[in-house]
Each structure stands twice: as C-alpha cells, then as structure tokens.
C-alpha cells in the first residue's frame, strides 16, 4: 500500500464530518441503536460487502481451491478498506447507506482474520431489497396513461431506496392534443411532471435524503415554451420542488449554434400533434436565460453530444441524465459513482501520480463489483445495467488541491493541470477496465460497441494533454479486445461525500472560504448549523493574518475585498470571484477526458443581467461540454450553502 494512503488512514474525520456521518450514515438496527460508531467500521462494512462480489463476478474463482478463494476475497476487502478508510476514495452515498442491508450484523464487522469463505457466501445470499447502491437512474416515460403511471410507480420504488432519477418527457403528447380513447384533450408533459413530483414528495427515504429528480424536454417539443417557464414563481420549494429541469438538445450543439447565429427557426413537432409551429431559436434562448436568471432553471443537456461519444450509439441511445447531470443514460439504466479526493494526494510539495494510478485501478474494480452485489429495485434496471456495466469514477477536492499548489482556479495553468489530471485518470481507469474485461469478461454488448468496431473511436473529445498518445494507443489496441465497462468516468457534485472527506466538492471551486452548512438532526428534524473555515487557508496563511481578518471572512466568504496580500487573493479564489467564462472553460478542460459527463455549476453574481446569462447559454454551444447549469447568486433556486452571516 502506498504510504500516503497509510498517512490518511491515521487522520480522523473532522468533527463536522463525524456529525454528518452520525446523523445520516452510520448503520443502526431496528431499535435505532448504532451498529457502527466510526468511519473505520463503516469502511469495513462497505469494503467487505463489495469484495464479496468476487464470488458473483469472477470466473477465475472456479479454478481456485477454497483457501485460495478466501485469500483472494480477503485481499480485495483489505485493498478496498484501505482506500475508503483513508477517505482518499469514497463511493456514492447509496453505497455507504445500503451496503450490507439484510445481512447478519456480526458478519459485517467481525475481524478480517476470522472471516471464512462461508461468511462471504452468506453476505451475498442475505442481501435484501434495500441493498441498493447506485445514485443515478433514468426511467422512460411513454405516451399513455399506463406508461405514465408505471413510471410514477418506478419513481416511488427508486426514491424509496435512495436513487436520483431523470426522465425525458418528450414522448408525451403536448398539452391540448387529442386523446383517442376518451375523445378528450391531453394535459401535456408539464402537468404530469407535477404527478411525479407529488409521488416523490410522499415517499419516505427515512432521515437520509429527500429525493432528487431531473426533468428534460427536448427543444423541439411543442410545449417547450411552457416547459422553460415551468418553475417560474418558484421560491425554491413550492413548484416542482424535487425537479431540476433542463432543455434537451438531441441534435449536435453546432446545429443549434448555427440556427442561433443566423436567427433561424426550429420546427416543433410530435407524432400525435397535428399543429405546425416554428419558433426562433433566439426566442427560446432568451426565454431560457430569463428564467435561469430568476430561478436557476432550466439548464441545458446536450444529448446529441453525449451520443456522439457513446460507445454503444446507435445500438443504444442516451435519452436523459440523472438529477445533477453527470451521467447520461438510456431507458432503465443506472450508474454507481465513486470519487477520489485529489487534495489528499498532494504531499511534501508534489502531487503523488504514482499513488493516483494505483488508487484508480482499485477504485475501478470496486465500482465494477458494486454492480454485482447491487439489488436493483426493478428487474428491467438490472438487465439494462448489466448489459453495459457503466461506471462513474471521478474526483473531488480539486479546488483544495489547487490552493495547495498555489495555482489560481481561473488560469490557463489550472486548466492545463486539469486536463493532465483527468487524462491520467482516464487512461488508467480505461486500462483497468480493459484488464477487468480480460479477467472477468467484457460487458455483454461489447462486440456491438464502437470500441470493438470503430477504427479510431475514443469515448471523449480529448484536447491537449501529456497522455494523448497513450490514450489513443489504448483505444487502438487493447480496447479493441477488452473492455468491462461501456463508460468509466464522471465527475459528480459529491455534495455529501466531500464533506465526509473534509475536502472541496467535485471539480468546483470552493463556494466560500468560511461558511455555515445546515444538517438535519435526525432525532428532532431541526436544522443545525455547522461552521467551516477552509483548511488549506488555515494552514497556509500566517496565523496572525487569518486572525485579523477572520470575522470579516466569515461574513463575506471571500478574500476579494479584504486587507490581505494580493498573492493570497489570487490563489484563494472562490466561486463568485471567478468569471462565468472561466467556470465554463474548467468544465470543458475536464469534459474533454471524461466519457460520461460532469456536474458543474456556472456561478454568476447577483448583479449579472439576463444578457450575461444569455451570453453563457450561447457560449456553452461553442464548447466541448455536455450540459449547462447556471446559478445566479440570490436567485430563487434552493441554496444549500449560505454565508455564516445569513445563518
Ligand atoms: P453524494 O455526495 O451524496 O454521494 P452527489 O452530491 O455526488 O452525492 O450526487 C450524486 C448523484 O446522487 C446525483 O446526481 C443524484 O443522481 C444522486 N442524488 C444526490 N442527492 C440525492 C437525493 N437527495 N436523493 C436522491 N438522489 C440523490
């Protein structure tokens, strides 16, 4: 094991992290008593259950003696344990919540040296219907009452076990169109979205999560204008509160850009709609910008761009994303995520590339194993997942890493580093997936995929990095024969797990250098404030300087207007110090080496105008990104983080 992993195993979660873990993550029995009381115990449970998957997915185990089999599983349990307990790699929340559900508690925590082969077999057998480990789902919604209410039921079943769900509602006939069965008029996709929203609002996820949805309507659907305004008047809670909404761009983004630039029109259509209507693309964009300015919704998702790089297109098609946008999926597909805290890999003045390579390889095996011990809420989901075995390995802690390296987030140097970092992870993750293909078998649709069939296929656009030749070589040679997973990478928001890791979230800049975050108290449901001051700042800035500015920093969250050396201001930038364009360019830097997508918010100051928002919507069409989410400070979208002052 790498010494860095050992080092971080000895660093306990902060008080804040421990509080979150205790409130939401540590497993309890039916009587409400804690079965685990530390991150190490939780790590043991998760590592053990995921290692047990080797019994389900590793054909080589058949050739081993029972003693060898046991050793094999135990050694993977230990490798997974090291990564999770060090908090260098953390899987998505549902894996932390639900791994081990249904299993005898003693089996989950007994010392590794006492584990027998039968114990692992029991773990596999005893998993129950709550053993659901994935964060991302897409459910198709058909144009019939039966289809719609089947989907509502599926939403309820997935929400109950903690998954986030997205749907594309474009198949639904528009408002006012004819319904043959009843000689009545259809009420359209938006009215049905309210049904999904209500269903999710009444499904209990216990104390852990409140549910999260993504609703998409394609830009050429006849109801697009109403859809764009569907969350108008939202105060962050009232209207479609569980939904993020996004306009789907099923064609290539260049096509829409051309129409925008030439002031062209788009023809709205639906097979069940007799009407004819053209809308100016500029009008649609103006309306999107106006609404995003007010409420943060809608975003855009470039489905055409996702399919362009999808290894199974056109055999399979991406129709929607999950709630935060980092994964595009086909009907009934699901995906599990995991994130590496790159801030923990900066040690002694340098970045530990050698450690990162090892971590990536173990993490890919871990995430691939998650698929096989997962208990999916619906059979169709299990089939869809297992035919392509999509994974989402990404990063968190990027902003804190840049702070340590003293590189400003909004600089070409930061973007160059981002491309190299992601290209390196991508190269090794894809090599690991090919190794797994050779060891355990390729994903079932591999021979139909573009990996096998298309001469120069690479599942992301690439740009310029130090690893481009190796990446091309990989896809020209090894990936032609072996690939375990249709896609391997994604950058998630890591909203909760970055707090557990005491690091910055995903690829995002820190929102504030000091802030308050609210946690729901399980016992009373009250919201309890937790105060954070950025750790890297605390370490780097001379203590007396920090002391001098501390109260102002807690109030403002940024160094921008404080009386400190320019050097600190340049390095320790926060989200609102960074221009929208620099946000977008960082999204692009990462996306160029990611086969799934990226969760990124383009932050804008409260003073931004509707035209400023419009500029970013149009700019997005010019860059190699796969979606856009804008948040204007103080707009109506629910704000998770607040400055200490407004607490
Ligand atoms: P975490 O840090 O808890 O692992 P992320 O913030 O990285 O989760 O979100 C990853 C994905 O998990 C989201 O895109 C969404 O699909 C799902 N998700 C997040 N929050 C919720 C929630 N409250 N309910 C259901 N799904 C969620």
Is 7 contained in some domain?
no
**Pocket lining: 211 vs ligand 1, CB cutoff 6 Å:** yes
What pLDDT is recorded for position 117?
Answer: 98
**Pocket lining: 93 vs ligand 1, CB cutoff 6 Å:** yes
Question: Which one of the listed residues 322, 485, 534, 597 is annotated catalytic?
Answer: 322
**Percentage of the chain lying above the pLDDT 90 cut:** 86
Please tell me which residue, 211 or 360, carries the higher pLDDT value.
360
Q: How many domains does the chain have?
A: 1
Q: What is the DSSP letter of 276?
A: -
The set of residues, in sequence order, having a beta carbon less than 8 Å from that of 39 and lying 6+ positions away, is: 12, 13, 17, 18, 21, 85, 87, 500
Long-range contact set of residues 576-582: C-beta below 8 Å, sequence gap at least 24:
576/511, 576/603, 576/605, 576/633, 577/410, 577/509, 578/409, 578/410, 578/509, 578/603, 579/410, 580/604, 580/608, 580/612, 580/615, 580/616, 580/630, 581/616, 581/619, 582/409, 582/410
Cβ contact 397:509 at 8 Å: no
| Across 572-585, average pLDDT | 97
* CATH code, domain with 270: 3.20.70.20
Mean pLDDT of the chain: 94
Cα(322) to centroid of ligand 1, in Å? 9
Question: Which one of the listed residues 294, 326, 333, 508 is annotated catalytic?
Answer: 326
Q: How far apart are CA 133 and CA 137, in angstroms?
A: 11
| Across 106-126, average pLDDT | 98
Q: Read off the pLDDT band of 550 (50, 70, 90).
A: confident
Which residue is closest in CA terms to ligand 1's atom 11? 135
Is 476 contained in some domain?
no
Is 590 contained in some domain?
no
Whether 58 is catalytic is no
What pLDDT is recorded for position 471?
Answer: 98
> 593: which 2 tokens?
């080496």
| Across 72-94, average pLDDT | 98
The number of beta carbons lying within 10 Å of the beta carbon of residue 38 is: 16
Residue 638 pLDDT greater than 80, yes or no: no
Q: Read off the pLDDT band of 99 (50, 70, 90).
A: very high
> 482: which 2 tokens?
């072996």
Going by their DSSP bridges, the two strands 334-341 and 391-396 should be labelled as parallel
What pLDDT is recorded for position 637?
Answer: 62
**Pocket lining: 340 vs ligand 1, CB cutoff 6 Å:** no
The set of residues, in sequence order, having a beta carbon less than 8 Å from that of 11 and lying 6+ positions away, is: 86, 87
Is 266 contained in some domain?
yes
Is 207 contained in some domain?
yes
Residue 498's alpha-carbon distances to 80, 472, 493, 508, in angstroms, are: 18, 32, 9, 11
Structural domain containing residue 182: 136-321
**Pocket lining: 322 vs ligand 1, CB cutoff 6 Å:** yes
Question: Which one of the listed residues 82, 234, 244, 324 is annotated catalytic?
Answer: 324
Residue 642 pLDDT greater than 50, yes or no: no
Q: How far apart are CA 407 and CA 47, in angstroms?
A: 35
**Pocket lining: 323 vs ligand 1, CB cutoff 6 Å:** yes
In 3D space, the residue among 164, 2, 179 whose CA is nearest the CA of residue 92 turns out to be 164
- For the CA of 324, the closest atom of ligand 1 is 14
Is 34 contained in some domain?
no
Whether 322 is catalytic is yes
Alpha-carbon radius of gyration of the chain: 24
Cα(164) to centroid of ligand 1, in Å? 6
What pLDDT is recorded for position 238?
Answer: 74
Residue 646 pLDDT greater than 70, yes or no: no
**Pocket lining: 374 vs ligand 1, CB cutoff 6 Å:** no
Lowest average pLDDT, out of 4-13, 334-343, 388-397, 635-644, goes to 635-644
**Percentage of the chain lying above the pLDDT 70 cut:** 95
Prediction pTM value = 0.96
Residue 587 pLDDT greater than 60, yes or no: yes
In 3D space, the residue among 119, 44, 123, 28 whose CA is nearest the CA of residue 375 turns out to be 123
Is 578 contained in some domain?
no
Is 330 contained in some domain?
no
């Amino acid at each position: 094991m790498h010494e860095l992993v050992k080092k971080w195993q000895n660093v306990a979660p902060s008080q804040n992290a421990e509080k979150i873990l205790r409130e939401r993550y540590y497993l309890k029995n039916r009587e409400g008593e804690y079965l685990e009381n530390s991150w190490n115990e939780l790590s043991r449970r998760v590592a053990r259950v995921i290692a047990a998957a080797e019994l389900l997915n590793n054909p080589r185990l058949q050739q081993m003696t029972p003693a060898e089999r046991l050793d094999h599983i135990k050694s993977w349990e230990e490798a997974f344990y090291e990564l999770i307990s060090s908090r260098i790699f953390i899987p998505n929340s549902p894996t932390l919540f639900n791994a081990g559900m249904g299993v005898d508690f003693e089996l989950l925590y007994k010392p590794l040296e006492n584990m027998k082969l039968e114990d692992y077999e029991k773990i596999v057998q005893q998993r129950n219907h709550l053993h659901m480990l994935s964060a991302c789902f897409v459910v198709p919604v058909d144009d019939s009452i039966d289809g719609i209410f089947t989907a509502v039921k599926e939403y309820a079943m997935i929400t109950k076990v903690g998954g986030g769900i997205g749907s594309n509602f474009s198949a639904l006939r528009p408002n006012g169109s004819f319904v043959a069965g009843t000689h009545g008029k259809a009420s359209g996709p938006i009215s049905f979205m309210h049904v999904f929203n209500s269903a999710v609002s009444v499904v209990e996820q216990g104390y852990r999560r409140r549910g999260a949805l993504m609703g998409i309507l394609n830009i050429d659907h006849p109801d697009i204008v109403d859809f764009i305004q569907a969350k108008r008047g939202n105060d962050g809670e009232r209207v479609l509160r569980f939904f993020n909404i996004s306009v789907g761009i099923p064609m290539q983004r260049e096509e829409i850009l051309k129409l925008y630039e030439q002031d062209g029109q788009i023809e709205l259509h639906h097979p069940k709609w007799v009407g004819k209507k053209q809308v100016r693309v500029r009008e649609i964009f103006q309306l999107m910008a106006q609404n995003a300015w007010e409420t943060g919704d809608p975003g855009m998702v470039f489905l055409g761009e996702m399919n362009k790089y999808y290894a199974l297109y056109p055999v399979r098609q991406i129709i929607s994303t999950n709630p935060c946008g980092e994964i595009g999926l086909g009907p009934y597909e699901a995906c599990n995520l995991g994130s590496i805290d790159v801030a923990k890999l900066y040690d002694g003045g340098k970045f530990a590339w050698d450690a990162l390579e090892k971590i990536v390889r173990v993490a890919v095996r871990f995430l691939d194993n998650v698929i096989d011990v997962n208990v999916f809420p619906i059979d169709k989901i299990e089939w869809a997942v297992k035919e392509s075995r999509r994974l989402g390995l990404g990063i968190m802690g990027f902003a804190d890493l840049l702070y340590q390296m003293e590189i400003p987030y909004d600089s070409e140097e930061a973007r160059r580093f981002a491309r190299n970092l992601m290209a390196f992870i991508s190269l090794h993750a894809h090599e690991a997936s090919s190794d797994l293909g050779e060891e355990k078998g390729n994903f079932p649709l591999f021979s139909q995929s573009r990996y096998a069939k298309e001469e120069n296929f690479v599942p992301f656009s690439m740009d310029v990095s130090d690893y481009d030749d190796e990446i091309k070589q990989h896809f020209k040679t090894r990936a032609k024969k072996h690939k375990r997973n249709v896609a391997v990478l994604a950058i998630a928001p890591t909203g909760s797990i970055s707090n557990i890791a005491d690091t910055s979230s995903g690829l995002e800049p820190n929102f504030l250098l000091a802030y308050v975050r609210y946690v729901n108290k399980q016992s009373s449901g009250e919201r309890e404030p937790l105060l954070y001051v950025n750790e890297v700042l605390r370490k780097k800035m001379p203590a007396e300087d920090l002391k001098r500015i501390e109260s102002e920093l807690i109030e403002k969250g940024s160094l921008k207007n404080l009386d400190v050396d320019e050097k600190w201001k340049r390095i320790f930038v926060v989200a609102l110090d960074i221009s929208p364009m620099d946000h977008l360019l960082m999204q692009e830097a990462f996306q160029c080496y990611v086969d799934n997508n990226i969760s990124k918010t383009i932050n804008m100051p409260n003073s931004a105008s509707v035209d400023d928002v419009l500029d970013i919507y149009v700019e997005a069409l010019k860059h190699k990104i796969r979606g856009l989410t804008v948040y204007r400070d103080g707009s109506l979208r629910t704000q998770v983080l607040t400055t200490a002052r407004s607490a």
